[in-house]
Chain A
Amino acid sequence: MPSGLLPSHPLDTAMPDLAIIIPSVLNGITTGSLYALIALGLTLIYGVLHIINFAHGALLMVGLYAVWFLNVQLGIDPYWALLIVPPAMFALGYALQRGIIGKASHGRDENILLVTLGLSIVIENLALYVFRSDTRIVDTPYSFETVEFLGAFLPLPKVIAFFGALVTATVLWLLMARTDLGRAIRALAKERKGAELVGINTEHVYAMSFGLGIACLGVAACLLLPSYYVTPQVGHGFVLIAFTIVVLGGMGSFVGALIGGLIIGVVEAMGGLFLGESLGQIGIFVIFILVLMFRPQGLLGHKV
């Protein structure tokens, strides 16, 4: 049978050479850095509140719509929106924790879990009602520009996203390590009574933590939209991946989320390359299961 008439199965092809692998790895790293940013918010909230924020994906979607709205209605570039959306998302997160999640949960972890799940359902359906389920994109002059690096042509928005995520992670790390707020967040995460005794306003610091986690989503939304799209359900895929990253890196570990994000990004890209686009994500969930089986505390997590 003459080759070329039928689409060849990806497994039939020989090992792709470096000219294909390198761009793929670089692409995976840039995507992974955005995953890491989303996971960073999730792991921060988990570290302090000890719950998985099920509304994480829905709130990312809110951020994406905010960026889209600012662009389409007001003509604001997604990167200029970095000055608007993350602070607004921070305020939203603070208000949600202080006004709804904290109040409705009465201090019980399983209640917080259910409240965030409920929130995600409400937010998604609101988005469906307001924006309908159409896929929206933004049109920027640089959407299709590329940057050459190691012989690979990388989309400019992805390169910007990579450095943006790196800067954000560094700022967040400095905040946690060097400021009183960061120390208070870490103190409250492990020792609530001690925190109250040194006069830390626990409700305020819980809300600040949640706000910071959601602000990460705001940054991710601004960096993501120039090379991606938004629909009311867009958060689902991301939150699943972010959850895998948090488990892989170690629940509550910052560095773990960063490394985990990059690993997952590359694994996804490699999976896409060798198994085909539609099976690309299978590697992520294989890793998820392997981690749960052999290293449940994650790469950088502590034994429970």
Chain B
Amino acid sequence: MLDVRNLHAGYGAVEVLRGIDLDIAKGEIVALLGSNGVGKTTFAGVLSGLVPAWSGTTRFNEEDITRLGAGRIVDRGLIHVPEGRHIFPNLTVRENLELGAYRRGRGNRARNIDHVAGVFPRLKERFGQKAGTLSGGEQQMLAIGRGMMAEPDLLILDEPSIGLSPLLVEEMFDLIGKLKAEGLTILLVEQNVLQSLEIADRAFVMENGQIRLSGKPSELMDDPDLQRAYLGLA
């Protein structure tokens, strides 16, 4: 479904991504792991067209989308739920969801709003409320719900657990499992290594703008480098 080859990108003169190769098959949850500042969020931005690629290619459903631009990438069904949520604080929860279907999924807007309300009952209680008044966890749910409104083929979730209490983090990972059960393909960008590996089908570990390790969670858990660097095991 997604095939990234030798992707380079950065800001100004600083190269952040230094040749990324990554692939995702339909129906998978793929985790992209790595500590702060290794380029995970930049990578997500390049995929969704917010950050221009310097070189390399991104193919999505057999189509080259590397230089398509954010709007057309949304049209194709690659939806990015960003780190920091970036919901519309001055709009109501319902309006936020409606704008999720600004380009894609317009015809099914009413049905999809019901669907999101089913997945996030807590959002439903707040439909008429301004999104800026929601708690951090609710805002995260809204950001994901807004992404679901565009009927994604591939959903990129960038740090969905950041800033949430441990209980809510647990809930968020349960929810991502639920989305997978619905048949969604997910790229989960996370620092939370252990919990991500629990629900992922495959994982990539990023370091310094490159993919350092990749494989099934069980294989990665046994890797001594990963254990030392991210799991705090000797």
Contact = CB atoms under 8 A, between A and B. Distances in A.
B91 A201 contact: no
Interface string A158-189: 00000000000000000000001001101101
Contact of A194 (B79, B87, B98, B104): B87
A194 B88 contact: yes
A274 B78 CA distance: 66
> Which applies to chain A's interface (DSSP): helix, strand, loop or mixed?
helix
Given A183-B95, A186-B91, A200 B102 contact: yes
B71 interface: yes
A196 interface: yes
B86 A186 contact: no
A12 interface: no
Contact of A190 (B50, B89, B98): B89
B86 to A, nearest CB: 4
B50 A191 contact: no
A157 to B, nearest CB: 37
A82 B180 CA distance: 55
A286 interface: no
A253 B23 CA distance: 47
A193 interface: yes
Contacts of A191: 86-89
A199 interface: yes
B90 A197 contact: no
Contacts of B102: 180, 183-184, 198-200
A150 B80 CA distance: 60
Contact of B71 (A187, A194, A200): A200
B74 A198 contact: yes
Interface residues of A, number: 17
Interface in B77-110: 79-82, 85-91, 95, 98-100, 102-104
B48 interface: yes
B146 interface: yes
B91 A193 contact: no
A186 B88 contact: yes
A184 B82 contact: no
Contacts of B75: 199
Contacts of B80: 197
Contact of B86 (A184, A189, A197, A200): A197
A199 B74 contact: yes
Interface string A196-208: 1111110000000
A127 to B, nearest CB: 38
A19 to B, nearest CB: 47
A199 B103 CA distance: 6
Contacts of B90: 186-187, 189-190
B151 to A, nearest CB: 12
A199 B71 contact: yes
Interface of B: 48, 50, 70-71, 73-75, 79-82, 85-91, 95, 98-100, 102-104, 146, 150
Given A194-B87, A198-B103, A199-B70, 20 more contacts: A180-B98, A183-B91, A183-B98, A187-B88, A187-B91, A187-B99, A191-B86, A191-B87, A194-B82, A197-B80, A197-B81, A197-B86, A198-B99, A198-B146, A198-B150, A199-B74, A199-B102, A199-B104, A200-B102, A201-B71
13 contacts: A180-B99, A183-B102, A187-B91, A189-B90, A193-B50, A196-B71, A197-B48, A197-B82, A198-B102, A198-B146, A198-B150, A199-B73, A199-B75
